[in-house]
Structure 1
Amino acid sequence: MGMIANYQYLPDNGLEQIKALSNQEDDLLDFAEDSVDTHDILIDIDKMWDVLVFVMTGFSSSEFMDDDPLREAVLGVTPLEDVSEYIAYTEKSRIAAISQALEEFDMDKALKDFSMEACKKADLYPNIWDYLEEEEEIKDEIRISFVNMKKFYKQILELNGNVLVTIC
């Protein structure tokens, strides 16, 4: 088991609930869990979230970058403070920029320059960068996660919705 990233549609009333619960961890985690059952617009990119940020931006998720729509696609815009799990949201006002950035990003080109050694040096999660024989499988997982994320944000844009990001 590890830290798995999930992304889900968040209607306006759900966003308001998240904001109201932002300092009540148990209620917030319950809300995030219940939301999965309520809305079927969601994706799970498993453990590929940190490397996806790295491949798209050149930086790990632990490095701060302000207003980068590719980073925001993976990590959300507004992380909640004082919560043991990673929970963030992205308001609808940022969805168009994120969707456009994903559409314009050339993942095939980025994966041509992909380096397991660079991932290891950047100390990316998960710690799989010594398994050189699995490089092609890992690249396929990154590509699939990216394609799913692109479709997801396009759908959220069409619905004029918000996004809830959980990494736990």
Structure 2
Amino acid sequence: MGIIANYQYLSNRNLKEMKLFYNEAVEDIEDVKDGNDDIEIQFGMDKMWDAMHFVLTGVGKDDAMENNPLSEAVFGVNSIKNSEEYIAYTQKSKVKDIVLALEDFDIEKALDNLNMSRFKKANIYPNTWDYEEDADKIREELMTYFQRLRDFYKKILEVNGNVVIIIC
């Protein structure tokens, strides 16, 4: 068992309800019924969320970058402060920027330069970077997760939705 990341479609109504539940400001949410409460688009990155962020940005979870669509693809734009686990959301207005950044990112080049010692030195979760012989397997896993993350955001863009990210 470990700390895993889950990404899910969120309608305007559900985003508003989540923010109200956590005593967050709700004035920036359209009060339009989007009729999409029953859409189910989700993606799980298991334990590779911090490694993915490191591949995309060169930094780990403690240095997540504001106004960086690649960082926001993994950690969201706004985090919920009154929660025991990490919960963040990205409103639909930011999804297109994330999709464009993911589409422009050269994942193959980034993974070609992958070095297990860099992950270990940066203290990237999960701490399994001692085995250089696993590098090809990890590259393949990160490539798969990258493609799924990009496809997830593309689907969210198609339905004009918001995203909730839970890491626990």
User: Fold match, TM over 0.5?
Assistant: yes
Q: TM-score, with normalisation over the residues of structure 1? A: 0.89
What amino acid is the match of 1:167?
I
Q: TM-score, with normalisation over the residues of structure 2? A: 0.89
1:15-164 matches, cutoff 5 A: 15-23=15-23, 39-164=39-164
The runs of at least 4 consecutive aligned structure 1 residues that moved more than 4 Å come to none
Structure with greater helix share of residues: 1
RMSD of the alignment, in Å? Answer: 1.3
- State the shift of 1:141 in Å: 0.9
Count of aligned residue pairs for this structure pair: 155
How many Å separate the matches in 1 of 2:15 and 2:64?
24
What amino acid is the match of 2:44?
D
How many Å separate the matches in 1 of 2:72 and 2:133?
31
How many Å separate the matches in 2 of 1:131 and 1:40?
37
Identity of aligned residues (%): 47
What amino acid is the match of 2:17?
Q
Q: Is the 8 A contact 2:64 2:75 kept in 1?
A: no
- State the shift of 1:84 in Å: 1.3
How many Å separate the matches in 2 of 1:56 and 1:83?
26
How many Å separate the matches in 1 of 2:151 and 2:89?
18
How many Å separate the matches in 2 of 1:63 and 1:49?
14
How many Å separate the matches in 2 of 1:7 and 1:115?
27
Q: Secondary structure at the match of 2:138?
A: helix
